[in-house]
Structures are given as structure tokens and as C-alpha cells.
């Protein structure tokens, strides 16, 4: 018998290799070549390139500032000798000015040369020369003091200033030490050339101080030493420089000015003859500018002919090494591509499959499921192409399982949601059926009620039934189906608000403020009532029992605005922002978040009709809910009243009606008296006929003498003609009994959905009036019952008021 392993292994599958081996093959050759090339490049060119970079940086930070210091010292030295010789105020002022310029040059040199990064780049010898120069420059001030006081001789002053210059030249000699021999020799020659010019200036300073007199022995000895050093350094410069630099030096050496200068210099050295001041001054004034010009030309030529080409050679070697390395790396990559191409293609195919699933197939499947379409999991989740790499093939298999699970989960979730929606709808219809039976039973019990206490309890049950109906409608809304209740005519905005208050448990704490003569279109009245009831009940539930909940309704520029303000503890900013996000985006109903069913209901209703609902902190520290009903759902004053005047019949809602006072009740039932002192806005009674349920107005005080017959019914607000005497009220209609002096009357099955209304005639229907009695209308049993209940409540309150120590009538009627 064949083993399962053998059967499984007998299937022909592409040859696979571990991904680690493929990656090693891809990276081994490029990495080895790259490391070898960069080691070679770093060992041969990087050091030279770095040294050239350091030389350029140090030349800017050390060489140039040091040259500036030398020039400033030379000028100050010449002026100092003049001060020692002439002792004039003008000379002292000029000396002070040059001393200040020298100090500025020294300060600039110190700030540029003594940077920490240069300290690390300098060698030990260069750093010692830097410190020696810095220490010697500290002796400038004592020297200047001696010169001002005339305590130094001419030779001493020249030697002192020359010591500063010699330290600077020695620093430059060390500074030019580079690996390029040609650059080093040429740089040393230029330094010696400049040093020779400094000795020439020393001689000039001494001869300017001597004037027409004969040099002393000390002066002649100093002059001879300077002249010898000048000649030596000039000879070194002529031998060290080559090429263009040598031509510049030779031009100066063969110039007539230089020849005249050397002739006079040798006469002074050998024979002690002192030429005339004019002759010496003429020779040095002609030679000094040419010498300085030659020094500048030497620096430019060195940079153009040697330093820059040497730098270019270094960088060229570096770039060549890099190019060769890149070529080798490119060759390695080219070879590696042959191994990596298939791997990359497999990975790209797998990635493309994942992208298509995430961005195309899965969203399309979810959208189709929401539309109620059937989805084939096999067709919507095709298997990716198998790869030739083992690990990628396994990943493809895992991805296939993932996408099938994802699509199957989406299908299952959609089916679950559809089933839940059907359950919601089924539960809602069952609840509506039970509520219908409960309302009929309450109606019968209210007819048989004989005491205010029983009637008050029945009112409480009636209010609970109204709230139960709202919760049942909430299930329908969460399922995505429209509600059953609907109106075929506009309903006053204030009455819509009161109808919402009537469906709240603590309706006695709610106060309506503001005024609006606009109306809400009939097709959205039920949803607006439900939305407002959820917000009002939430405000009452999360605020202290002793506080009020204020509801303000008014017409604004963008529609109809309703504000629900509570006095609770409020919400945190993050929680408030999250709730506003949910209210604005109409998120999907989450079965996990069962504590915020009202939030989902409000969001669904708002998204269904384009109503804006937002939460913000209230002035009392609680929360303010602002509901903005758009213009499309609002009937303006003139349009609404015109439509009411043209109505041929009284359009009626399918649901509860407004009593216009402080307690919830369905039309046709005696309204509970409102609490004393409770200020509630009330409209004329004829405005509430046929409107949704709301708080009841306080019943009027019972008359001293009960009327023998009820007053005639007022005309209906939406009807064009009166109802015939003795005619049955329209199904779902309202008896217009909300006038001053009597309680409103309820029409049976008035608050039920159309599907649940009974088709039979009312149980207490009266026979038609006999012939000859057209002028007499016998009151119906409901009207008689309502009238007697009103009289009874009035008498009871009168007795309670006359008896001292009795409880408040509100306690007897109760609050809910």
C-alpha cells in the first residue's frame, strides 16, 4: 500500500531551492568585489585626497592669516623705527594705528588657526610652531611700550619685530610639508623668497633710521647679518623653484632695480660707506614693489601649475579607482541578475496578487455583498502562480489560504449581518404586534379607570409602551430598513420636538425654549422624532436628576436647528472627537459596542436624511448636541401655512400624537396635570391636532359647574371641511378636542403602524341618530369618560388644597 508521503512526493513539482542560497549567490560576488575595490581605493588614493583636502583647509585657516600677520608686522616695524628716530606726534599716531591693525590681524589668525578640528589635523611639529608663535606674539605690547618710551635702540626694535616674522616664516615652512615632493620644493622656495624680502625690509628700516649719518659698529654688524641672510634665502629660492616660478624669480634677480640694490648693499657691507638717503630710498622704493609683485605671482603660479594639478591627479586616481570598482560591481550585478531575475519576478507576481486582493478584489467583494449579491469564493480568490523558489512557493500557498479566508470571512460576515438585520426586523415586527395588543389593553383599562391613582398608573404604562415602541423602531433602523411610521403632511417643528420629548423617560425634566414656525416634511417626521428622542434621553440619563435638559428649536440660515443642552459632567476632548467622528461618518453597526446603540441609531438616521449632528461642551459643563435639519427637509412658514390652507383632508400620522403639555399621552386619553411652576411653551390647541406625541399642557382647572354637554369640536388644522355629526373618525386620525376647558381625546389605534391597525369598527361606536333628532348630537362614551375624569381630578385637587398638611397634588399624580 502506497504511503501518503509517497503519493504526495510523486506529484511533479518544480525544482526549488532555499531562498538563503539564492541570496548568498546574489550577494557573494558583488560584496567581495566591492570590498576589494574599496580597500584598494582607500589604501592608495583616499589618504592623499584627505591630505590634500586638509592642506587646502589649513592654507585658508593658517597660511593666509599668517601672511597677513607678517605684512602687518613689517609695516609696524618700519613705523616703529621712524618713531624712535623722529619722535614726532604724527609718527606716534601712525604707529598706534598700525599697532591696532596688527592686533586685528593677530586676533584673526588666532581665531582661525586654533580651531579644535585643526588641532587634530596638525602634526606635533606644526602644533609646537603654532604655540611658539602664539607665545611670541604676546610680547608685542611690552615692545610697543619700550618704543613709546624710547627705551629701545633701532637695532633692538628691528630685531624684536623680526623675531615675530621669523617665527611666522618657520611656521609656514612646517605647514607646507605635503606628500607631493614637487609641491613641497616649490612651496619652500616661495617661502624663502618671501623671507628674503623681509630681510631686505629690515635693511631698509635701518638705513632709513640712520639717514645721512654713518652706521655704528652694531648697526653695521646687524646690517651685514641681514644682508647675508637675504642673499642666502634668495639663492635658496632660485634653486628650489622650477618652471614658471623659476622664471619669475629670475626676472627679479636680473632686474636693474635688484642689481642696483645689491650693489649699494655690498658697498655698505664691505666698505662701510653710507650712501645718500635719496639714493637708498630710490633703490628700495623701486625694488620693494617688484619683489612683492613677484611674491604674489609666485603664489598664483604655484597654485595654478602645481597645487591644482596635483589635486586633480589625486582626485583622478580616486575617481579611476571608483570607476573601476563600479565596473567590477556592475559586472558582478550583471552576473547576479541571471540568478535573481526569476526570484524577483516571483516576488513581484506575489506582491501584485496581494495588491489586487487588498485594493481591488476584496473591496469589490464587500461592495457586492452589501448590495446583496451572491459571491463565489473560488472565483473571487484565484490561486497565485506557483514559484520555483521553495520559500516563495510556500508563501504563495499561505497567501492563497489567507485570501480565501479573507474572502470567506467577508462573505460570512455579510451573511451574518444580513441574518442579524432580518432578526432585528422580525423582532421589531413582533414587538410592534405586542405593543399593539398592549395599547388596546391599556385603552380598555383607561376606559374602566375610576380613580386618579389607577389612571396615573395607566399613564405610566402608556409612557413605557411609547418608549418600547421607540426601542423596537431602533432595531429596524439598525437593520438598515426604513421605519413604519410616516406622515403625509408637514408637522410643526416644535411639535416634532415635543413628540420626541414624549418618548423620553424623564420627560418632566425637559424644557423647550425658542420658537420656530417652520415644519418638518412628513416623510422624515418619524425619523427626526426618533433621532431627537435618542439625544434627549441620553442628555437626561447622563445628567443629575435634579437638573434640567434644555431643548431649543429655531430656524437658522441653513435649515432647522435643535439644541439639546444637559448639565452633566461632560465628555473628555478625545471622547467627544471620537463621538463626532462616528456621528459624521455613519460607521457600520458593531455588535461589540453594544453600549452605544443610540449613537449608531442617530448616525444611521442622520446619514439617511443628510442631517448634521455634532456634540460640543455646554456652558454648564455638560454636553450640547446640535441637530441641523437641512432645507430639503424643512417647510418654511409661508409654504407650510399655504399648504395647510389648501388641504382638502386632514393628513394623519401613523403614530402617537402631541398633547402639547408636560406629560406624554396618546390622543384620546386624559392628560396628566403638569407640575406647578413648570414653564413650558404652549401653542394654541388647534395647532397640535394630528401631530406626533409630546408633553401635555397643564389641564385647565375644573369648572364650578360641570357642563351638560361637551363644546363643539374645533375645526381640524389640515382639513378643508368639518366632519359630519356622528361620523367615525378617520383611521389613524385625531379627534380635535385640544381646546381650553377640556382634555384631549384619544383615537383608538392612533399610535400603531399601518400594518397593525385593526380593520374593525370601534367597539363603542354609537348608532346613527334617529330621524327628527338632527339638532341633537349625543356625546360619545369617550367624551363622557374624559369629561368625568377631568371633573374628578379637579374635585380631588380642590379637596387636597382645602385639607391642611396633605401632600402635594403632584405626589398623588406621580411623575415619570
| Mean predicted lDDT score pLDDT of the chain | 72
Average pLDDT over residues 716-744: 37
Per-residue confidence (pLDDT) for residue 796, from 0 to 100: 61
Determine the Cα–Cα distance for residues 310 and 183; give it in Å rounded to an integer: 8
688: number of Cβ within 10 Å: 31
Q: Which of 320-334, 443-457, 703-717 has the lowest mean pLDDT?
A: 703-717
Domain-located, residue 180: yes
Find out whether 654 and 754 touch, Cβ atoms under 8 Å. Answer: yes
Per-residue confidence (pLDDT) for residue 77, from 0 to 100: 87
Same domain, 637 and 656: no
Per-residue confidence (pLDDT) for residue 287, from 0 to 100: 87
Find out whether 348 and 389 touch, Cβ atoms under 8 Å. Answer: no
Domain-located, residue 252: yes
Find out whether 714 and 708 touch, Cβ atoms under 8 Å. Answer: no
Domain-located, residue 318: yes
Domain-located, residue 1: no
Domain-located, residue 435: no
Same domain, 745 and 609: no
Which residue among 279, 300, 324 closes a domain? 324
Residues linked to residue 734 through DSSP beta bridges, in sequence order:
none
Residue 689 half-sphere exposure toward CB, CA atoms < 13 A = 25
Q: Which of 69-78, 383-392, 804-813 has the lowest mean pLDDT?
A: 804-813
701: alpha, beta or left, given left = phi > 0 and alpha = psi -120 to 50? Answer: beta
Judged by DSSP in three states, 762 sits in coil
Sheet holding 559-565, edge to edge: 510-513, 549-556, 559-565, 623-629, 612-617
Find out whether 668 and 745 touch, Cβ atoms under 8 Å. Answer: yes
Domain that holds residue 635: 492-644
Q: What are phi and psi of 91, to 5 degrees?
A: -65, -40
Find out whether 304 and 20 touch, Cβ atoms under 8 Å. Answer: no
**Residue 177 cell numbers, joined:** 610639508
Find out whether 718 and 644 touch, Cβ atoms under 8 Å. Answer: yes
pLDDT: is 242 or 665 the higher one?
242
Determine the Cα–Cα distance for residues 286 and 281; give it in Å rounded to an integer: 8
690: alpha, beta or left, given left = phi > 0 and alpha = psi -120 to 50? Answer: left
What's the CA angle centered on 77, arms 173 and 72, to 5 degrees?
Answer: 60
Share of the chain above pLDDT 70, in %: 67
Same domain, 49 and 183: yes
Same domain, 597 and 682: no
620: number of Cβ within 10 Å: 16
Same domain, 502 and 573: yes
Average pLDDT over residues 722-745: 38
pTM listed for this prediction: 0.42
Q: What are phi and psi of 409, to 5 degrees?
A: -65, -40
Could you tell me which residues come within 8 angstroms of residue 61 by beta carbon, excluding any fewer than 6 positions away? 112, 113, 115, 118
570: number of Cβ within 10 Å: 18
What's the CA angle centered on 90, arms 88 and 93, to 5 degrees?
Answer: 115
pLDDT tops 50 at residue 693? no
Q: 589: closest CA among 487, 697, 479?
A: 479
Determine the Cα–Cα distance for residues 5 and 14; give it in Å rounded to an integer: 17
Same domain, 66 and 172: yes
Residue-wise DSSP of 313-361:
HHHHHHHHHHHHHHHHHHHHHHHHHHHHHHHHHHHHHHHHHHHHIIIII
Per-residue confidence (pLDDT) for residue 789, from 0 to 100: 66
Same domain, 166 and 244: yes
Same domain, 232 and 319: yes
Per-residue confidence (pLDDT) for residue 19, from 0 to 100: 63
Average pLDDT over residues 97-114: 87
pLDDT tops 70 at residue 775? no
Average pLDDT over residues 255-271: 82
Average pLDDT over residues 363-386: 74
**Residue 554 cell numbers, joined:** 429655531
**Residue 444 cell numbers, joined:** 380598555
Burial 308-336 (b: 16+ CB within 10 A, else e): eebbeebeebbeebeeebeebbeebeeeb
**Residue 350 cell numbers, joined:** 506575489
pLDDT: is 477 or 101 the higher one?
101
Same domain, 595 and 696: no
What's the CA angle centered on 604, arms 599 and 605, to 5 degrees?
Answer: 100
Same domain, 626 and 660: no
Pairing of the two strands 519-520 and 612-617: unpaired
Task: Please report which helix (H) or strand (E) contains residue 614, including its range.
Answer: strand 612-617
CATH number for the domain that contains residue 639: 3.30.565.10
Per-residue confidence (pLDDT) for residue 519, from 0 to 100: 92
Same domain, 639 and 657: no
Q: How many domains is the chain partitioned into structurally?
A: 3
pLDDT: is 287 or 768 the higher one?
287
Alpha-carbon distances of 402 from 164, 279, 353, 398, 767, rounded to whole Å: 84, 105, 12, 6, 75
pLDDT tops 60 at residue 417? yes
What's the CA angle centered on 728, arms 724 and 731, to 5 degrees?
Answer: 125
pLDDT tops 80 at residue 708? no
pLDDT: is 741 or 583 the higher one?
583
Looking up cell 457600520, which residue turns up?
A: 588
Write the pLDDT tens digit of every residue in 520-549. 998 899 899 999 999 999 999 989 989 999
Report for 24-28, 243-247, 433-437: range of highest mean pLDDT:
243-247
Per-residue confidence (pLDDT) for residue 367, from 0 to 100: 77
Q: Which of 247-261, 307-321, 566-580, 708-722 has the lowest mean pLDDT?
A: 708-722
Write the pLDDT tens digit of every residue in 142-156. 888 888 888 888 888
Please, is 270 exposed, middle or buried when counting C-beta atoms within 10 Å of its C-beta (0-12, 13-18, 19+)? exposed
Which residue among 276, 295, 324 closes a domain? 324
Domain-located, residue 766: no
621: alpha, beta or left, given left = phi > 0 and alpha = psi -120 to 50? Answer: left
Which residue among 307, 324, 341 closes a domain? 324
Domain-located, residue 571: yes
Find out whether 208 and 285 touch, Cβ atoms under 8 Å. Answer: no
pLDDT band at 371 (very low <50, low <70, confident <90, very high): low
Judged by DSSP in three states, 746 sits in strand
Determine the Cα–Cα distance for residues 284 and 258; give it in Å rounded to an integer: 9
* Helices (runs of H) and strands (runs of E) counted in the chain: 26, 10
Same domain, 108 and 164: yes
Average pLDDT over residues 762-790: 48
Judged by DSSP in three states, 752 sits in coil
What's the length of the chain? 816
Average pLDDT over residues 408-417: 79
Determine the Cα–Cα distance for residues 321 and 304; give it in Å rounded to an integer: 25
DSSP state of 635: E
Average pLDDT over residues 23-44: 74
Q: What are phi and psi of 563, to 5 degrees?
A: -110, 130
Alpha-carbon distances of 616 from 550, 629, 630, rounded to whole Å: 15, 17, 20
pLDDT tops 80 at residue 795? no
Domain-located, residue 558: yes
Amino acid at each position: 500500500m502506497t504511503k501518503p508521503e509517497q503519493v504526495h512526493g510523486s506529484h511533479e513539482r518544480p525544482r526549488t531551492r532555499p531562498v538563503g542560497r539564492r541570496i548568498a549567490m546574489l550577494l557573494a560576488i558583488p560584496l567581495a568585489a566591492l570590498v576589494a575595490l574599496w580597500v584598494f581605493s582607500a589604501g592608495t588614493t583616499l589618504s592623499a585626497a584627505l591630505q590634500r583636502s586638509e592642506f587646502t583647509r589649513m592654507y585658508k585657516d593658517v597660511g593666509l592669516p599668517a601672511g597677513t600677520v607678517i605684512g602687518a608686522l613689517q609695516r609696524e616695524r618700519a613705523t616703529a623705527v621712524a618713531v624712535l628716530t623722529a619722535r614726532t606726534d604724527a609718527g606716534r599716531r601712525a604707529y598706534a594705528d598700525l599697532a591696532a591693525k596688527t592686533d586685528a590681524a593677530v586676533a584673526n589668525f588666532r581665531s582661525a588657526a586654533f580651531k579644535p578640528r585643526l588641532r587634530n589635523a596638525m602634526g606635533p611639529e606644526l602644533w609646537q610652531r603654532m604655540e611658539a608663535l602664539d607665545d611670541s606674539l604676546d610680547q608685542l605690547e611690552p615692545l610697543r611700550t619700550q618704543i613709546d618710551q624710547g627705551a629701545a635702540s633701532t637695532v633692538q626694535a628691528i630685531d624684536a619685530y623680526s623675531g615675530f616674522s621669523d617665527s611666522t616664516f618657520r611656521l609656514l615652512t612646517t605647514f607646507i610639508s605635503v606628500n607631493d615632493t614637487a609641491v613641497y620644493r616649490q612651496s619652500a622656495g616661495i617661502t624663502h623668497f618671501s623671507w628674503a624680502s623681509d630681510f631686505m625690509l629690515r635693511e631698509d628700516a635701518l638705513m632709513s633710521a640712520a639717514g645721512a649719518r654713518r652706521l655704528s659698529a652694531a648697526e653695521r654688524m646687524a646690517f651685514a647679518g641681514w644682508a647675508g641672510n637675504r642673499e642666502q634665502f634668495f639663492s635658496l629660492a632660485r634653486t628650489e623653484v622650477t618652471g614658471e616660478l623659476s622664471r619669475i624669480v629670475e626676472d627679479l634677480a636680473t632686474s636693474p632695480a635688484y642689481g642696483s640694490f645689491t650693489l649699494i648693499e655690498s658697498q655698505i657691507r664691505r666698505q662701510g660707506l653710507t650712501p645718500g638717503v635719496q639714493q637708498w630710498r630710490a633703490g628700495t622704493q623701486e625694488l620693494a614693489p617688484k619683489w612683492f609683485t613677484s611674491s604674489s605671482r609666485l603664489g598664483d603660479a604655484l597654485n595654478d601649475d602645481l597645487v591644482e594639478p596635483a589635486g586633480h591627479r589625486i582626485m583622478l586616481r580616486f575617481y579611476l579607482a571608483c570607476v573601476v570598482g563600479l565596473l567590477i560591481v556592475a559586472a558582478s550585478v550583471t552576473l547576479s541578475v541571471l540568478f535573481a531575475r526569476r526570484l524577483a519576478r516571483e516576488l513581484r507576481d506575489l506582491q501584485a496578487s496581494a495588491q489586487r486582493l487588498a485594493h481591488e478584489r476584496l473591496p469589490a467583494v464587500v461592495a457586492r455583498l452589501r448590495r446583496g449579491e451572491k459571491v463565489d469564493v473560488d472565483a473571487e480568490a484565484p490561486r497565485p502562480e506557483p514559484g520555483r523558489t521553495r520559500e516563495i512557493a510556500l508563501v504563495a500557498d499561505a497567501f492563497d489560504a489567507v485570501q480565501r479566508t479573507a474572502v470567506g470571512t467577508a462573505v460570512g460576515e455579510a451573511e451574518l449581518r444580513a441574518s442579524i438585520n432580518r432578526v432585528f426586523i422580525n423582532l421589531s415586527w413582533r414587538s410592534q404586534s405586542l405593543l399593539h395588543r398592549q395599547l388596546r389593553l391599556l385603552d380598555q383599562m383607561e376606559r374602566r379607570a375610576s380613580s386618579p391613582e389607577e389612571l396615573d398608573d395607566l399613564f405610566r404604562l402608556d409612557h413605557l409602551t411609547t418608549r418600547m415602541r421607540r426601542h423596537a423602531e431602533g432595531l429596524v433602523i439598525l437593520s438598515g430598513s426604513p421605519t413604519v411610521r410616516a406622515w403625509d403632511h408637514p408637522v410643526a417643528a416644535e411639535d416634532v420636538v415635543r413628540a420626541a420629548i414624549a418618548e423620553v423617560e424623564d420627560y418632566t425634566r425637559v424644557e423647550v425654549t425658542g420658537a420656530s414656525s417652520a415644519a418638518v416634511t412628513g416623510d422624515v417626521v418619524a425619523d427626526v422624532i426618533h433621532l431627537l428622542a435618542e439625544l434627549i434621553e441620553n442628555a437626561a440619563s447622563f445628567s443629575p436628576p435634579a437638573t434640567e435638559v434644555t431643548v431649543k428649536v429655531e430656524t437658522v440660515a441653513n435649515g432647522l436647528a435643535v439644541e439639546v443642552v444637559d448639565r452633566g459632567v461632560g465628555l473628555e476632548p478625545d471622547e467627544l472627537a471620537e463621538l463626532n467622528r462616528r456621528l459624521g461618518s455613519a460607521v457600520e453597526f458593531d455588535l461589540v459596542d453594544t453600549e452605544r446603540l443610540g449613537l449608531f441609531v442617530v448616525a444611521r438616521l442622520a446619514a439617511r436624511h443628510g442631517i448634521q449632528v455634532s456634540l460640543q461642551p455646554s456652558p454648564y459643563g455638560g454636553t450640547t448636541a446640535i441637530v441641523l435639519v437641512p432645507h430639503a427637509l424643512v417647510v418654511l412658514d409661508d409654504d407650510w401655512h399655504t399648504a395647510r390652507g389648501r388641504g382638502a383632508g386632514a393628513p394623519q400620522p401613523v403614530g402617537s400624537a402631541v398633547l402639547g403639555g408636560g406629560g406624554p399621552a396618546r390622543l384620546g386619553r386624559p392628560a396628566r396635570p403638569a407640575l406647578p411652576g413648570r414653564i413650558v411653551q404652549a401653542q394654541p390647541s388647534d395647532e397640535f391636532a394630528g401631530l406626533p406625541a409630546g408633553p401635555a399642557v397643564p389641564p385647565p382647572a375644573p369648572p364650578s359647574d360641570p357642563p351638560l354637554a361637551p363644546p363643539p369640536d374645533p375645526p381640524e388644522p389640515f382639513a378643508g371641511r368639518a366632519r359630519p355629526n356622528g361620523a367615525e373618525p378617520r383611521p389613524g386620525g385625531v379627534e380635535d378636542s385640544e381646546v381650553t376647558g377640556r382634555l384631549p381625546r384619544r383615537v383608538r389605534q392612533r399610535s400603531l403602524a399601518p400594518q397593525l391597525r385593526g380593520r374593525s369598527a370601534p367597539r363603542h361606536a354609537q348608532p346613527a341618530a334617529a330621524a327628527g333628532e338632527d339638532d341633537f348630537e349625543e356625546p360619545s362614551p369617550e367624551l363622557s369618560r374624559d369629561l368625568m375624569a377631568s371633573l374628578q381630578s379637579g374635585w380631588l385637587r380642590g379637596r387636597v388644597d382645602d385639607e391642611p398638611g396633605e401632600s402635594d397634588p403632584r405626589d398623588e399624580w406621580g411623575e415619570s
